[in-house]
């Protein structure tokens, strides 16, 4: 199982990015943290747009069925994304 953190960041040059970090234990039960995606955001940062960016990242690693949790900040767009993702992955 993999726990993810998701955060939207704005660069000093006014570009926005979504950072996705995976947190898991390896075969020796050591905790690992791995930045698995740092995707540029080119549209308005709605929950639906962030969902697409997140899904793009996790599909790259075939980890959709391994999601244990997604931790975010309390930005309205990020919370909307988390709610949408919760509905999508509830049955996996």
- Choose between 54 and 89: higher pLDDT: 54
Give 81's pLDDT tier (boundaries 50, 70, 90).
Answer: low
Distances from the Cα of 83 to the Cαs of 24, 34, 86, in angstroms? 22, 23, 5
Name the packing angle between helices 76-89 and 47-60 (round to 10°): 50
Handedness of CA 41, 44, 45, 48 (dihedral sign): negative
Cα 62 to Cα 48: distance, rounded to the nearest angstrom: 20
* Mean pLDDT, the chain, whole residue set: 80
- Choose between 56 and 72: higher pLDDT: 56
Q: Domain count of the chain?
A: 1
Full domain range(s) for residue 46: 2-89
Q: Are 78 and 72 in contact (CB under 8 A)?
A: yes
45-60 burial: b if 16+ Cβ within 10 Å, else e: bebebbbbbbeebbee
Which residues lie closer than 8 Å to 13 by C-beta, 6 or more apart? Answer: none
């Amino acid at each position: 199982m993999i726990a993810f953190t998701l955060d939207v960041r704005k660069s000093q040059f006014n570009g926005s990015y979504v950072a996705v970090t995976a947190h898991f234990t390896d075969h020796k039960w050591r905790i690992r943290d791995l930045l698995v995606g740092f995707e540029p955001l080119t549209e308005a940062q709605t929950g639906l747009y962030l969902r697409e960016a997140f899904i793009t990242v996790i599909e790259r690693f075939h980890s959709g069925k391994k999601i244990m949790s997604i931790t975010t900040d309390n930005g309205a767009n990020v919370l909307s994304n988390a709610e949408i993702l919760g509905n999508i992955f509830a049955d996996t």
